[in-house]
Amino acid sequence: MTSENQHPCQNDIRSNNDDLGIPAHAMNFYFSQAHAYQVPPTVQHAKYPFRVPPRLFPYDVYIHRYLSMWIMPTNHITHAIFFGTIFCYISTRWWIPIVLRMYEEGTKNEYGRLWFECATFHCSEEYTDFQTMWNRFYVMTVFMIIVMVVAWKRVFRRFSGRPWMDPNYTEFNRLPVHNSCMRWMVDEESARDVACCPYLIATADCHDKEESYKTVGGGGRGVDLAPNVWNMDQLEWKFQLYNTVERALNAVYQEWNLGDGDIGDNVNSASGGGTSIWRNKSAAVENEVTNWRPIPVPANWTMLEDIPDYPIYTNIKYPFSCIPPFVPDKNPTGVYKLTFDLPVKWWHDGMAFAKDEYMITFHGVESAFFLFVNGEFVGYSQDSRLPASFDVTPHLKPTGNVMYVVVCRWSDGSYLEDQDHWWMAGIHRSVELIRKGPDMDIVDYRVQADMDGSLFVCVDIKKTTRRKDQKQISFKLFHDEQSTPMGGREGRNLPVWSTVQEINRNNEKEEFSGEVRVSAKIEGAKLWSAEEPNLYTLVISVLNSKDGIVYQVESCRIGFRSIDIKNGILLLNGSQITICGVNRHEHHPDHGKVVSVESMARDIEIVRNNNFNAIRTSHYPNAAPFYRLCDYFGVYVCDEANLETHGMMPMGKLADDICWSKAFVERVTRMVNRDRNHASIILWSLGNECGRGRNLNLARKALRKLDTSRPISYEGGGDLFEGTGETELTDVICSMYPDVGKTITLSKKHNDRPVILCEYSHAMGNSNGNLHRYWNIFRDGSLPNLQGGFIWDMIDQGLTLHHSGDRSRTYGYGGDFEDKYYIGVNDKQFCINGLFSPDRGPHPAVSEVRYLQQPIHLIESGYFPNEKLRQMRISSSSEHLQFRFMHYFSFLSWSDVYVEYFYCNDQMKDVNCNTADREIFSYFPTGCRGEQSITVNTFDRAQKYLSEYSRCWITFMWYFRSKMKWQFNNPVKNPIAVEKVELCLPRHDEDHNIEINKILREEGCSIKVQETTSSVELWVKYRGDRFMRRCAIIDKNTGCITSFCNNARCELLDEPLVPNFTRAYTDNDRGGIDRVRDLMPRWVAFKIRLLERTLFHYSYCYKWKRLGLDPESPPRPVCDLLKLVAETSDHVVIEADIAIVTKSRKRLFYLHVSYHFRCDGSVKISTILEKPGTGFKRNLLPSLPRIGYAFCMNKDLKNVTYLGRGPEENYPDRKSGSMVGVWSMNNKNLGYDYIVPSENGSRTDCSWLQFETNSNGGFLIVACEDGKGPGHFSFSSLLHSQRELHRATHTHQLEARKVGTHPLFVNIDLYQMGIGGDVGWSPCVYDDYLLKPDRYESSFWLCPTSKSDQMTFVLARCKRKERTTSISEQ
């Protein structure tokens, strides 16, 4: 049941005198009951441009306003003032005084002679002063001419008739933007179907209904859902490319062969006068396509192989000289040509055709374009990410229409789109032609549905509706269920609410312009949230009041929810939420900015399945279907305006330039008008990295005038070069890349605003370390206003580069595609910074993110589990054990989930643990928050897995009771949370069911040493052997093991086992001022170079190279002393003192290595890295990359089993999401091919590691638990060496190798430095994960194994040998 709450203004219809013809007020302006969020006090009381407390002085604004804008002009006026000031100063200060003085010095009779003699440099000695003045006059005249030439060439010649270089000229004849759900339908049932479909349905020209409907993404019934919208994408578009805008416009002029001035006068009149600018009929130049060729629409022409223009990637700097608002004369410009006839059903009735109105919409064109239809100039628009619509009614005819779209790659709008992504060009979103009948009165509509069930609707009515049209507007609300992400509707239920409003008029002859406004209270409305994305369908119809004929129907999906800020906490529907967010660019590796609806849906499914609940549309509004999908799947969206001026120095130059106000405000307000009806949008963003200034203040005010139901975020401003996210422009503290300490400080400093990091954890290459530290504080109840953030970013923005060899696909980045005109104008791999590869395959770091963001966690000693091994001790009396869990749902409860748990030990590979007996705990009391305990029968179930020589774990896997929308396409049911706890028995010295003769394999064995001139050889004799066999060789020159065999006489090493202190540089290792220089414009980089030694940090790799720790030429071991310490029949001890020497023969470190060989062929390698002496420059070495050993292994040892963290790669500061267990895999799965090759494939916290052949056994590496080291190790086993990884800049540069055909490169890391991840341009590894120059000690066993060996017995032998070895060493 529903009840309608009548408000005083429900039937009120007011005229609107807004210049755009569309009301520009928020819902609470019309409806006092409409929800509006509470603006934080510090923002509400702040007076622009003063910063909110505690720092008040806005130096970033004033530096630009009173300094930089005058010495670095950004508009026509300031350019004119700048050069005019220079010219006037030179004239008045030097040139005019010199002329006057020369005039005074000369006499009437000799003046002409003096001038002639001085001009010919033959002046007599008595007139040398006059000659000096003449020289000065000559120099100053030449200088003034140079100034005038420069001013003309760079600035003044571009003033007239070039709308693409005028910030005040952002559009001509462009219609106001409307909400993205407008489809101009005529049937209510069809309208409900369209609302439940993410596609922009267009069925005006569907000849083959089924195929056409499939193309536009319908539900398969083949009906005319939107008969008044014609999608023009699949038509036969033709294309030409020219090097300048002038040449492109001239080509259009010649194509039509019009008389002088026809096109020229129209365009120049629109741009403010001037002569025709494209009449320069110069000959064709290179890199042009002057013959018509077919082109797909939508498409970026820069992604098409046969068009000589290329994608360019820059992060900060502009790809052209930064002289706003001017762009280069060489400006690739595409000319699109389309010849078309209107759909027959639109014009078969000539009377109807004459009455109809036609509008064409371009949903996205980069970066500016002119539109011509049938020989007439229609309009101009810029803003690459929002639709541009034009009224083409006067220009169209039923058949034989010819349309030209002239697209400029660069425009003054490009200065506002410097968005750390690829610079593309072309029509990259759909083109639609729309027919509007004479009775289609709905221009636009706006909806707000609040958490209390209040519904508010405003419908804009066009001006031409007269009293003789007896019309009414019907409103209906349906609770429709969308059957699949791609569309479809279940059921034909009745509306939950409906009402009808008459369109009233005051005067029969008076044109009507205004709104119809209604409100209602929906009892029992189901609320929308990311956890429960309940949606309703609103249908609005224009009817004839007498006979009920339907003229127009519009529909959209709405969700009831309210966003607010109270006590500094962001609330959704009154509950606190945590933003588990990610930044997302629109990107496809093959198509650039052209992203299909299917790809969007796949992205959102990936996001939701990895425990993300929010997306920031960095850094521009996305295509309209994206928001429909977010509504459906339940994703919180921060919708960002298409504004970024990161390449400006200072950044806020354009944001405070009043000549750019129109462009700034338009980009914000048009975004709001298009997207405001979507429930998924919970935050607006004014843009990204634009600094701070009056234009953004105006944009914020304009946004608040349109919508007060959502808070505003904006990171820019507050500092000269970068933003702080703390200014008066933002309701949310949205700082970018603060470290954990700074994040805590922000939370405590701003207690009236929520802290949501707009960007953090820079996912560039092998990265995302330290993430667990952020989530420890995000989950900390003592910091309630710290509510998460958006990881940067989702997708590696690589473009497809090669399809060759065994590598089916590799990707390129900045610098791989540009032609000779753009050499050096790129920022290399800085676009490769996603959690997922371009084909959406997950990086190894995704497991860490998924675990930390999972909504259910095991509670240990604190509020959130740390990265240490989780263990619980049990005994025979521990019949039951309780595990406490906490869930972090905002709206779901324990009753919505269930848990499965099972046991496994270190003799069971984790990949097979699913076959173990599982138990399900499915009953939980209802409740929204709080802890929940699970009691398990521990000992009875676990005792069969436990012994002295085995370890046991219990694993909990949590699932939703019902399948969520984002799990629709999952072939198997994926857990939403996983926890694993080790169960430990007390250790005893007595044996536990292990036969002593199987453990003591050393009985009957012997070992001896044989020394040669260059090496020491170890020979063993096994029980039953007649002869001794060599098991190992130690090189006297290096002190390293060069050969090691198992008891099957299989050589295990292809290269020696040598100390290793280097790694192939990761992108974070390269982060420092040496990288920042490459990202900055040249003049800024030069100034940074002057200060870098004193003010900035160098990268880790810079310091490693200086010390000699370069993977290209790693330091080598030199043995100073090799001695035999002990020799018996069952063991041999050899010690070596080894110096680590660089390429330049500098000694870095000293190692003391002890080899303790046993008669069964095993060896314990103990290593002591001595602390560097006092002469060592510690400031040059903040950390060692790693401390361990490296060797090249026999190619047949391709099977790997280990007990450690897995299965994905993990590192000391990124291992929370990798569970400890026994993992078995082929060597090909141990590495990960990052687009830029680097250090990869490590597995941490390993207790043992086994390499095996298929037939001849292998060897085992076991960590020693003797208290002298960490008791575990890390390892990697790769098909390429560190040197090869370091040299390669792309994956395809690495030789394609198969396991079993090439030796394997193994690293055994006793210690390894973390990888960092806070940022990618500064050293960011926390102190806990640095290997500072100090004394390090560690040891491990290297044991040969045979095929018949059982792992339990081998490990038991190692532990026994470890005890006896420790006793013998004592």
> Which residues have a catalytic role annotated?
689, 759
H or E element in which residue 783 lies: none
Radius of gyration in angstroms for the set of CA atoms belonging to the chain, rounded to a whole number: 37
CA distances for 578 relative to 561, 779, 910, 919, angstroms: 16, 9, 32, 31
The helix/strand/coil state of 771 is: helix
Answer left, alpha or beta for residue 1366, where phi above 0 means left and psi between -120 and 50 means alpha: alpha
Pick from 340, 255, 332: nearest CA to 300: 332
**Cα–Cα distance, 1286 to 1306 (Å, whole number):** 16
Pick from 384, 431, 423, 385: nearest CA to 302: 423
**Cα–Cα distance, 1086 to 1063 (Å, whole number):** 31
C-alpha of 1329 from chain center: 26
Is residue 576 packed enough to be buried (19+ CB in 10 Å), middle (13-18) or exposed (0-12)?
middle
Pick from 1360, 1308, 636: nearest CA to 948: 1360
Strand partners, 432: 231, 361
The helix/strand/coil state of 810 is: strand
In this structure, are residues 1039 and 1117 in contact, taking their beta carbons and an 8 Å threshold?
yes
Q: What are the structure tokens assigned to 1000, written together?
A: 């003591």
Q: What are the structure tokens assigned to 1363, written together?
A: 């005890």
**Cα–Cα distance, 648 to 652 (Å, whole number):** 7
In this structure, are residues 682 and 787 in contact, taking their beta carbons and an 8 Å threshold?
no
- Residue 950 one-letter amino acid: S
**Cα–Cα distance, 1134 to 1158 (Å, whole number):** 12
Q: What are the structure tokens assigned to 9, written together?
A: 């203004």
**Cα–Cα distance, 1043 to 1052 (Å, whole number):** 7
Longest dimension (CA), the chain: 129
**Cα–Cα distance, 941 to 929 (Å, whole number):** 30
**Cα–Cα distance, 745 to 735 (Å, whole number):** 12
In this structure, are residues 609 and 853 in contact, taking their beta carbons and an 8 Å threshold?
no
Q: Strand runs (DSSP E) across 315-367, as ranges?
A: 333-340, 357-362, 365-366
The helix/strand/coil state of 440 is: coil
C-alpha of 597 from chain center: 19
**Cα–Cα distance, 1109 to 1101 (Å, whole number):** 8
In this structure, are residues 1226 and 1198 in contact, taking their beta carbons and an 8 Å threshold?
yes
In this structure, are residues 1359 and 1207 in contact, taking their beta carbons and an 8 Å threshold?
no
Pick from 1306, 1362, 970: nearest CA to 1166: 1362
Q: How many CB atoms lie within 10 A of CB 1104?
A: 23
Pick from 394, 390, 388, 391: nearest CA to 353: 394
**Cα–Cα distance, 970 to 1010 (Å, whole number):** 62
Q: Match 């001006």 to its residue by tokens.
A: 463
**Cα–Cα distance, 631 to 611 (Å, whole number):** 17
- Residue 635 one-letter amino acid: V
